[in-house]
Homo-oligomer: A and B are copies of this chain.
Amino acid sequence: MPTQPVLIAGRWREARASGTFKAVNPRTKKELAEDYPISSWQDLDEALDAGVEAYRVMRTLPAQTLANFLDIYAGKIQANLQKLAEVADEETALGVTPRFTNGEIPRTINQLQQAAAAARDGSWAMPTIDTGTGLRSMLRPLGVVCVFGPNNFPFAYNGVAGGDFASAIAAGNPVIAKGHPSHPKTSQMLAELAFEAVKETGLPESAVQFFQRSSRDDGTKLMADHRNAALGFTGSRGAGMALKKACDDNGKLAYLEMSSINPVVLLPGVLDEKLNDIVDQFVGSCLLGCGQFCTNPGLVLGLKSDGLESFITAVAKKFDEKPGGTLLNEAGQKSLSQGIQSIMAAGAAQVTTGQAGAGFSVANTLLRIDGKAFLKNPEQCQTEAFGNSSLVVVADDLDQLLAIVRTLEGNLTGCVYSAADGSDDETYAAIEPDLSDRVGRLLNDKMPTGVAVVASQNHGGPYPSTGHPGFTAVGFPAALRRFAKLTCYDNVRPERLPELLQNENPGTAWRWIDGEVTQDAVPTPVATTA
């Protein structure tokens, strides 16, 4: 069987490959049939040249064309939903239903449609007009954007279909998408649908390019290249940091979502009020998708109490009731086991005694450690054990709890459960400022998994959960602003201005005009008569 192709410079063609790989069915641990290419630099080099040419056309296109592409692509995913779900399930074991057919694929379609709406509307670009000086500014596209997707979301974060992809295109940038070796067939099918949509909507043919893999060196070379403008990355901290460095050193923008253990603080009062509810919510959140979510609650903080002991006992019991789920791949199983071992080496004890399940699997694991031991080695205790595992820290008192919170690295989310009767309010007030400083999304009385795609979402957070705490990877129109540069037009003749900065509002964009935010046209100056 010939090696599967790559999509470069407007055509599907054989890769200039330096090697090949196969996907693996995580349930059976058996290799799947197809051979996929590991692209050499030649492929990436050609993609960069073609991307630059595509950009020169894209920056002149009306937003309507970008939006049409996203909508038509979304429609094609909808039309192929069942087939895509089956292929992805074979590659990831995440389950056709409900995960793909009811959850992730509809979300992916919705994201593409929301990005299309944001492009059409134009408010994302923050058009700003000062009539006194004539200065007018807005966000404009950047250039070639590379998007690297993760293993755990074959659709919603896929390099050629997910939120970064949708945002980069909606903002007017061509994308060079990298697949992920955990789900190459899913990615390739998506890239095929995307390319069909490109051709149908009149985007330049290299607006979307796709390769499966490269060497790590070629990946960093791609970032450093002068033809690359930015990276959208979701994945491991190790890979993210290497790519970030290559971007940073060469003045390229890197938007990375790298790692997060999502601390959950359980205050004493609420454990008394509704222990069982919290146990159920925690177990559901921690084992969902076998724990392979960026927002998985990997760290629980509480004060020494009977309530917290009951929580630990009850969670351990539920964890032990079922064997571990099937993880995405062998690397994931290995890294989860290593993460657990690293946390135990830092002094944590294993509370659970359950079994691993079918395929790549690790037993559902609950660890515990006391506050003093945590504080001896807070960094190692925060090792990300990506999967169905969590660590409970039992603090002696509020001072110690606060000290622990102050050692936390940047996370995507942080939760506090507190009593409805107000008995935890003082403790909440003491902890909230330092916790919220260290997270992108602060929750009350709710587990962190589940990321609503709405304008006020923040799927981001302080370093090292991401590379810049001012931006979100989820939520439109904000997510578009990552892949843009600010351009000010000073004394530029009216007919030469971008449509969104002309006097008439071409559509529904909210524009900042002389300090007011309005959808109206620029007011006509009142003529002063002599």
**Which A positions have Cβ atoms within 8 angstroms of B?**
56, 59-60, 123, 128-130, 132-133, 135-137, 139-140, 142-143, 244-245, 248-249, 251-253, 410, 413, 428, 432-433, 436-437, 439-446, 452, 454-458, 460-464, 467-472, 478, 481-482, 484-493, 496, 510, 512, 515, 517
Contacts and interface: CB of A to CB of B under 8 A. Distances in A.
Contacts of A492: 442-444
11 contacts: A128-B478, A129-B456, A130-B454, A130-B455, A132-B454, A133-B452, A436-B487, A443-B491, A446-B490, A469-B486, A470-B482
A454 to B, nearest CB: 4
A488 B442 contact: yes
Q: Count this chain's copies in the assembly.
A: 2
**Which of A245, A441, A467 has the most chain B CB atoms inside 10 A of its CB?**
A441
Given A433-B60, A456-B135, A440 B484 contact: no
Contact of A490 (B142, B248, B442, B470): B442
B458 A487 contact: yes
A410 B226 CA distance: 12
A255 to B, nearest CB: 11
A496 to B, nearest CB: 7
Contacts of A510: 517
B496 A458 contact: no
Given A454-B135, A456-B128, A470-B485, A490 B441 contact: yes
**Which of A140, A456, A460 has the most chain B CB atoms inside 10 A of its CB?**
A456
Given A428-B496, A470-B481, A491-B443, A452 B486 contact: no
Contact of A456 (B130, B432, B484): B130
Contacts of A56: 433
A24 B444 CA distance: 58
Contacts of A457: 130, 135, 137, 488
Contacts of A432: 496
A79 to B, nearest CB: 28
Closest 5 CB pairs of A and B: A251-B463, A469-B485, A458-B488, A248-B248, A441-B488
